[in-house]
């Protein structure tokens, strides 16, 4: 799943066509279509992002909101804002290993332990 798929899924759960959704929420049909089809990245502007979330009936600070914001960040090739910056120091080595396609469940668990250990030890 990605940002565009999430938008489309939420809109369809509201039983709205693209045109109905856009008309009810004062969105441009072409804009929402581009978002849903991943032809455009999620808006950077937090106000526009919040307006879209509200139109999709996504409550602020809910688990669904966090998922929405994470997918929006990823669509813009950015890390989600709430990722602890200390964790970034572990990502280059992890990504190099992942790119070799020999990453294991143990590798992921080790990364998580390192991140959690760093977060705990620095608090």
CA distance 86 to 67: 21
Within-domain flag for 80: no
Q: Which domain holds residue 106?
A: 85-122
CA distance 77 to 85: 16
The pLDDT of residue 110 is above 80 = no
Count of alpha carbons within 13 Å of 72, Cβ hemisphere only?
19
The pLDDT of residue 7 is above 80 = yes
**Sorting pLDDT into bands at 50, 70 and 90, what band is 51?**
very high
Quick one: 29 and 59 in the same domain? yes
Q: How many domains does the chain have?
A: 2
Quick: pLDDT tens for 15-34: 999 999 999 999 999 999 99
Which tokens hold the place of 58?
């996504």
Q: What is the mean pLDDT of residues 64-73?
A: 92
**Sorting pLDDT into bands at 50, 70 and 90, what band is 87?**
low
Q: What's residue 58's pLDDT?
A: 96
Q: Which phi-psi region, left, alpha or beta, contains residue 16 (left: φ > 0; alpha: ψ -120 to 50)?
A: beta
Quick one: 21 and 62 in the same domain? yes
Within-domain flag for 103: yes
Quick one: 21 and 60 in the same domain? yes
The pLDDT of residue 78 is above 90 = no
Rounded to two decimals, the pTM is: 0.69
Torsion on CA atoms 64, 35, 20, 26, rounded to nearest 10: 90
């Amino acid at each position: 799943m990605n940002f565009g798929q999430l938008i489309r899924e939420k809109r369809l759960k509201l039983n709205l066509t693209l045109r109905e959704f856009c008309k009810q929420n004062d969105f441009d049909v072409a804009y929402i279509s581009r978002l849903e089809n991943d032809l455009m990245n999620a808006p950077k502007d937090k106000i526009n992002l919040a307006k879209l979330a509200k139109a999709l009936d996504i409550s602020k600070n809910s688990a669904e909101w966090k998922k929405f914001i994470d997918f929006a960040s990823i669509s813009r090739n950015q890390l989600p804002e709430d990722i602890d910056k200390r964790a970034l120091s572990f990502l280059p080595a992890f990504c190099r290993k992942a790119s070799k396609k020999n990453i294991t469940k143990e590798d992921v668990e080790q990364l998580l332990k390192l991140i959690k250990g760093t977060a705990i030890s620095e608090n």
